[in-house]
Amino acid sequence: MLRTKFVPVALDQWYQRRQKDAEGEFYRKIAGQGPRNDFKGTTQGLYAAAPDGTFLGYNNNRGPERVRKLLRKALDAFRPADAPPIEAGPADPQYAHVPPEGGLVVDVTAKVLGGYPEPKDWHERIFQVALQRDHLWVRKDEHEALARGKIPESLRVRIARFHLVDGTRGEPPMWKREEIRRLDLALAEGRLSGSVHLETESGDRGFEADLLGFVEAKDGRVTRLDLVAKGLFWGEGRYTKGAPPGKFPLAVRFALASGKDAADRIPPEGGRGWHADYIR
C-alpha cells in the first residue's frame, strides 16, 4: 500500500520542526494539525497528508495493525486536488548539512552481542537484536591524509566521541572530549589498530574496546575503509533505556558507503545541533 498508493518520506523531525525555510514551514503546516503541535518538543510519529498540506491522520504507534488502519483511513479521506507548487528557496543553513565535498561517507552500524535477559514481548526483542545505523563523515583533508596512510587526530576523536556509542535502542548520548580516557588508534601499512577507553566522570557509562581495520587507497582516493570496534559497554542514556545489566559486549562496524542509497546523504546523528563540533 505504501509503495503504490502513497509517496513515502522519512524524516528526522528534529530538523524540520526547527528549519526556517520552505521545507520546515510545510512540515509544521502538517504536524501543526496533529496532536503534537508544540514545536518546542518532539512531534515524532506517522503522518498522512495531502500534497496541499491537508491533514489526513496521525499515529505514533508502529504496530502493523495500527499503521494499516492509519493508511486506510487516510486513503478514504484523501480527495485529489491541485496543490500549487512551493518555491523551495534557500535551505536554512543552520540545519542543511551535506556530506563534505571531497570527503568520505562511511556507513556505521552497531549491535549489542549479548547480555540481555529474556525479552518480555516482541517489541522488546526487536530492540535487543536491533542494528544501529549511522554515518561517519570524513573531511576532504582527512580523506587525503588517509590516502597517504595517516589518520588525523580530528578523525580519531570524531570516531571515538560520536560513533563508539550504543544507539541500538534509541538516540545515544555522545562522549564529551574529556570522557576519552584513552584513545590509541594508529594506521600503519594499511592496518588500523588500537584500543579505546571512554567513560563518564561518574563512571555510570563507559566503553572499553579494541579496534582493527584496513584502509586501501588508489590514485589519492580511499577505496576501502573497514573498521571494527569490539569491547565491553556499560550504562545507558536518557533515550537508550533497557541496556543489559552490567558490562555487555558491543561491536561497531565501519565501511565506506556505496553512495547509491538515498540514506547515504543523511547527516550523522552526532552532528545534530552540534555540526561544527562534530566536523571540526
Element (H or E) spanning 141, and its range?
Answer: helix 140-147
Distance from the Cα of residue 76 to its chain's centroid: 34
User: Which one, 194 or 206, has the nearer CB to another protein?
Assistant: 194
Q: Which amino acid is at 22?
A: A
For 55, the grid coordinates are 491533514
How far is 183 from 126, CA to CA, in rounded Å? 32
**Minimum distance of another protein from residue 7's CB (angstroms):** 4
How far is 248 from 112, CA to CA, in rounded Å? 7
**SS3 track for 87-119:** CCCCCCCCCCCCCCCCCEEEEEEEEECCCCCCC
**Minimum distance of another protein from residue 156's CB (angstroms):** 16
**Minimum distance of another protein from residue 105's CB (angstroms):** 10
**Minimum distance of another protein from residue 142's CB (angstroms):** 20
Whether residue 222 contacts residue 86, with contact meaning beta carbons closer than 8 Å, is answered with no
**Minimum distance of another protein from residue 143's CB (angstroms):** 20
User: Which one, 16 or 144, has the nearer CB to another protein?
Assistant: 16
User: Which one, 141 or 214, has the nearer CB to another protein?
Assistant: 214
User: SS3 of 258, please?
Assistant: coil
Whether residue 208 contacts residue 248, with contact meaning beta carbons closer than 8 Å, is answered with no
User: Which one, 148 or 241, has the nearer CB to another protein?
Assistant: 241
Q: Which amino acid is at 254?
A: F
User: Which one, 13 or 154, has the nearer CB to another protein?
Assistant: 13
| DSSP code, position 34 | S
**Minimum distance of another protein from residue 157's CB (angstroms):** 20
User: Which one, 56 or 279, has the nearer CB to another protein?
Assistant: 56
How far is 227 from 195, CA to CA, in rounded Å? 12
